[in-house]
């Protein structure tokens, strides 16, 4: 794509994700179903955190495009490096994980991840904006331009660290409230839950590798250390 076209696309994607994140975080507290507890607010859900992550990524991408358009290449280089790191390590694998894991569990038993009572609070379009559209956006980004992936060890360490932080946040919420962020977790014994978290991490790592594979197949080998 031309830089001007990329800038337009990234700007529109940023506005979209900002709007979706704003919409979900400003649902009135009194409208929430009784099974949705207040502690942690919307920030206990990976879906909402992913919306913020995507907004940050597209904001950084738009800034990189603007700097390239105005020929500020020295300033653009660190921004481009940040853009590629965010996309490769987090934006692509997390959005892919959110979409595929959500709809898999939703199809099996929606009450485990998205109780039917939420239908009266969250409109259908917003559900799909949070859980469906994130994957096409991620795939379109790979098709739009090449992204330089970090060394595999570095990328996986960063991804694992972020996963550890989120799991710690989920466990902290349970220790304070006695409630699980997702009803699904209540079905597991402690060893079973540990195995579930380990399996989820393995899946998200596979999505990281898949993104790297797609990027390499479309654009050729491009890495930085």
pLDDT in tens, 34-87: 556 677 788 899 999 999 999 999 999 999 999 988 888 788 899 999 999 999
pLDDT in tens, 100-146: 999 999 999 998 888 888 888 889 999 999 999 999 999 999 999 99
- Eight-state DSSP code of residue 26: T
pLDDT exceeds 60 at position 30: no
- Across the range 135-159, mean pLDDT stands at 95
Asked if the model's pLDDT at residue 162 lies above 50, the reply is yes
CB distance 38 to 93 below 8 Å: no
pLDDT for the residue 80? 94
- pLDDT bin (cut points 50, 70, 90) of residue 223 is very low
What is the spatial distance between Cα 142 and Cα 135, in angstroms, rounded to a whole number?
11
Q: What is the pLDDT of residue 224?
A: 42
Residue 31 or 112, more confident: 112
pLDDT bracket for residue 12 (50, 70, 90): very high
Looking at the chain, the whole-number percentage of residues with pLDDT higher than 90 is: 74
Q: Show me where the domains of the chain are located.
A: 3-25+40-219
In the chain, pLDDT over 70 holds for what percent of residues?
93
Q: Are 132 and 103 in contact (CB under 8 A)?
A: yes
Which helix H or strand E contains 21, and what residues bound it? helix 3-25
Extract the tokens encoding 91. Answer: 């934006």
Q: What is the mean pLDDT of the chain?
A: 90
* CA–CA separation, 136 and 30 (whole Å): 33
Does residue 225 register a pLDDT over 90?
Answer: no
> Which candidate, 44, 52, 79, places its Cα nearest to that of 63?
79
- For position 9, what pLDDT does the model report? 96
Per-residue pLDDT at 3 exceeds 60: yes
- Write down the pTM of the prediction: 0.91
Yes or no: say if 34 and 82 are a contact pair by the CB < 8 Å rule: no
């Amino acid at each position: 794509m031309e830089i001007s076209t990329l800038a337009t696309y990234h700007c529109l994607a940023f506005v979209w994700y900002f709007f979706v994140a704003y919409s979900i975080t400003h649902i009135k507290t009194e409208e929430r179903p009784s099974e949705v507890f207040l502690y942690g607010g919307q920030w206990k859900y990976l879906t909402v955190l992913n919306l913020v992550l995507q907004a940050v990524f597209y904001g950084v991408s738009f800034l990189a495009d603007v700097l390239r358009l105005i020929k500020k290449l020295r300033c653009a280089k660190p921004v481009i490096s940040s853009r590629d790191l965010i996309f490769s390590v987090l934006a692509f694998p997390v959005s892919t994980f959110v979409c595929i894991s959500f709809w898999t569990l939703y199809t099996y038993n929606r009450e485990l991840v998205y109780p039917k009572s939420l239908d009266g609070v969250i409109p259908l379009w917003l559900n799909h904006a949070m859980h469906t559209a994130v994957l096409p956006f991620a795939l379109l980004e790979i098709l739009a331009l090449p992204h330089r992936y970090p060394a595999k060890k570095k990328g996986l360490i960063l991804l694992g660290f972020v996963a550890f932080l989120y799991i710690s946040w989920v466990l902290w919420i349970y220790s304070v409230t006695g409630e699980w962020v997702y009803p699904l977790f209540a079905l597991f014994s402690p060893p079973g839950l540990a195995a579930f978290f380990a399996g989820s991490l393995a899946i998200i790592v596979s999505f990281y590798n898949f993104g790297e594979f797609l990027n390499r197949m479309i654009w050729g080998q491009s890495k930085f250390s």
